[in-house]
Structure 1
């Protein structure tokens, strides 16, 4: 990948100095007594194969067919323990291969069963997209052993889902809210035979207020089971969930720090006036034209507007946020994955867990409100050892957020230097596109506002909970 062009940024030096001042506050976490921790593998140790970890030949062949050349660190550490019939807490940075780390042991246990039961494994995920993606991984890795799985998520008709559950799948991948709906309303659906429970992205599940639902779900599950809890971070909430759901677990921690970004990721900031954000965004899109790019915004409204705005200037942008229908969300994701659209404009619904094979650039149009989300956003690129670039637009109103991010990740970002005159060449066209996008958003709000659109801000959707970023908290 070509290196980033370096140009001079015409911002006051006194203001730029504020970017690297020590912040007054940093993110903190509480701790409690920890389970047994398995140390990271020695760097110079020979690379193991999946067969070396104890995975049987049919599943090794599936890994090879999917291009899994060698186990990632989280896989190498957690799979042997899972095959020893132990509860596991897996802590690893985003994009580390956590899905295969829990799917392979479950499939192997299923293969070893003489008469595998229905609902043998249950995998919980915070978002519909992630649950769907995990379901695809289960099908791909289990294709040679005839595994039956189904995905149960909100936003879709419950009747076809009830029919799918009636066929007694081996593995269910679900969001918590919709799964609880089926347990309470779908006749004959029980989890009393479940042998394996996986709670993926546990910290985000709890951040999205799924705690009470998880407590209810645990009551439907047998006490004699294996439980795998995977999370990017270990918060006090995750520790409480661990105590409630796991028995004598082993902890596998791959990350060396609480907020870690991979070494192959190049991170930059642009310190710009707030009024020129759109101009600098289009300048960057022009610089990275043809590259797979995710633009992160803070609100549903801005996601929709920026997508319309970018399309008006000829860029292939498509929005992804929590207020789209489930079919529209999956459609947007699939178009981006397939390369039919090279720009995805998204809220933090796309920040974690999603496996998009090749993302070249991440642009933070809006800085996230916490450092953990920043790490997950930029983790959409530079995955699996590949290089990637992340650029953050920092305005005069973002200084405290920016300082906290730098302090949390333990490094100072490089400045992406630009020439203001070159940037301002786009000003006239950008202003015209802004007018067009405002009119389009007005029409969209009028169409949806009659029903109380979240875009308009009248009221959250039925069953949802208002979030500070305009997204609905209920993903189930």
Structure 2
């Protein structure tokens, strides 16, 4: 286990060169986070790393800075490869590399599904220094894109390794490991240390330094966590009540299914709230478009599935609402990690119905604490019932209509219909909800 570097005050103290210290300052990074303070000195010494860190801990900087410093020392193309489990996370990682490397002419290529293959092949032909991708699409290019290989690669990063090791990626990861140079540095970052992560560690790391930047499954101290037991039939009412009570907040609402994100976004829009959905059913361009609207403040409520719970760089979320309780309690940690980042405070509220009680009990066991109840008078909440029920009925009708169009046309046209409808509802036809 690495020692705690309590004396570290700046990136310069860690051994980061002047050019990159300046890049950190331009990004507003004044002092290193715990994972950065502990990982960077070992990385600069040329060690392999295993970093266990909760979401929002600054781990991208922990691997990007040592790689960029090594690249400055020995400039060459195809220097590092970063593997990520989701498209969004891959894009975020590449953006951070490009921001840190903007002053040194860094070139990145992002290889993810849902984006034109030929465009990516052109980006690879421009000989990037860093390749960031999802395992399947990276393997696709290694097999089919003429002239592309990772023979010169000096660094491999496996980010969110616990998620990279599910059945979807395992075959592609094995194939990638079989074709990349053995003589390389490997950094493995994971929120949790599972049996599969240990197995991968033994297979591809050499005498790694293990850094644990957070106690197992902890949530940060600046996060105010609450729950509310609600009857399933009134769940939408409670959601609307909380969102109107805390109406100035930037909020992420987590649901279990992609269909639920669409329904809730429509329902909330019908009530005059600025909500937008993001889920795995949407194309890559749609997902990024929704995310950018949320980041820009055009919409202050993002309704999402767990595809958006990890790896998304959304710095200013005030509140997370678990509309559906996750059946895997570790997902709770990742969801609520979207708020109270980088020392800021945040709120997480979980709506628990009668069918989710067992899952909620598992969450309390995992985090090792009993949460206080969110205060609300049911009579006051149910004053909204009539309007919420009507908004839900209209939303279901609209989804039925657009769903038929989507099936007939295929692709994203049905989503576009809903987008147009959402846009038309944005503040035009509905009065803002007010407390009676």
Q: Which 5+ residue runs of structure 1 have no aligned equivalent?
A: 1-36, 457-476
Q: 1:40, CA displacement in angstroms?
A: 3.7
Query: How has the CA–CA distance of structure 1 residues 189 and 144 changed in structure 2, closer, same or farther, with 3 Å as cutoff?
Result: same
Match in the other structure for 2:133: 174
CA distance in 1 between counterparts of 2:243 and 2:226 reads 15
Match in the other structure for 2:422: none
Name which structure has the greater RCO, CA cutoff 8 Å, separation 6+: 1
Deviations 1:74-108 (A, max 9, x none): 00000000000111000011110000000000000
Give the structure with the larger helix fraction.
2
Answering whether residue 46 of structure 2 is matched by residue 85 of structure 1, we say: yes
Alignment map for 1:303-322 (pairs within 5 Å) = 303-322=261-280
- Match of 2:168, SS? coil
Match in the other structure for 1:345: 303
CA distance in 1 between counterparts of 2:166 and 2:242 reads 32
Answering whether residue 149 of structure 2 is matched by residue 219 of structure 1, we say: no
Match in the other structure for 2:144: 185
Moved more, 236-245 or 104-113: 236-245
CA distance in 1 between counterparts of 2:408 and 2:180 reads 42
- Match of 2:128, SS? coil
If the length of structure 1 is used for normalisation, what is the TM-score? 0.85
- Match of 2:165, SS? helix
**Residues 269 and 275, structure 2, Cα contact 8 Å, conserved in 1:** yes
**Residues 40 and 254, structure 1, Cα contact 8 Å, conserved in 2:** no
- Match of 2:277, SS? strand
Answering whether residue 100 of structure 2 is matched by residue 136 of structure 1, we say: no
Q: Give the alignment's Cα RMSD to 1 decimal.
A: 1.4
Match in the other structure for 2:359: 401
CA distance in 2 between counterparts of 1:167 and 1:292 reads 39
Match in the other structure for 2:16: 55
CA distance in 2 between counterparts of 1:318 and 1:119 reads 38
Q: 1:117, CA displacement in angstroms?
A: 2.3
CA distance in 2 between counterparts of 1:86 and 1:236 reads 22
Q: 1:440, CA displacement in angstroms?
A: 1.4
- Match of 1:227, SS? strand
**Residues 8 and 14, structure 2, Cα contact 8 Å, conserved in 1:** no
Deviations 1:11-59 (A, max 9, x none): xxxxxxxxxxxxxxxxxxxxxxxxxx21444xxx334210010000000
**Residues 259 and 371, structure 1, Cα contact 8 Å, conserved in 2:** no
Q: 1:395, CA displacement in angstroms?
A: 0.6
- Match of 2:31, SS? coil
Match in the other structure for 2:247: 289
CA distance in 2 between counterparts of 1:165 and 1:355 reads 25
**Residues 39 and 253, structure 1, Cα contact 8 Å, conserved in 2:** no
**Residues 162 and 182, structure 1, Cα contact 8 Å, conserved in 2:** yes
CA distance in 1 between counterparts of 2:281 and 2:333 reads 24
**Residues 54 and 80, structure 1, Cα contact 8 Å, conserved in 2:** yes
Q: Which 5+ residue runs of structure 2 have no aligned equivalent?
A: 415-436
Alignment map for 1:376-391 (pairs within 5 Å) = 376-391=334-349
Match in the other structure for 1:117: 76
**Residues 98 and 106, structure 2, Cα contact 8 Å, conserved in 1:** yes
Match in the other structure for 2:34: 73
- Match of 2:157, SS? strand
Q: 1:150, CA displacement in angstroms?
A: 1.4
**Residues 102 and 228, structure 1, Cα contact 8 Å, conserved in 2:** yes
Q: 1:204, CA displacement in angstroms?
A: 1.4
Q: 1:446, CA displacement in angstroms?
A: 1.4
**Residues 8 and 37, structure 2, Cα contact 8 Å, conserved in 1:** no
CA distance in 2 between counterparts of 1:305 and 1:143 reads 41
Query: How has the CA–CA distance of structure 1 residues 208 and 418 changed in structure 2, closer, same or farther, with 3 Å as cutoff?
Result: farther
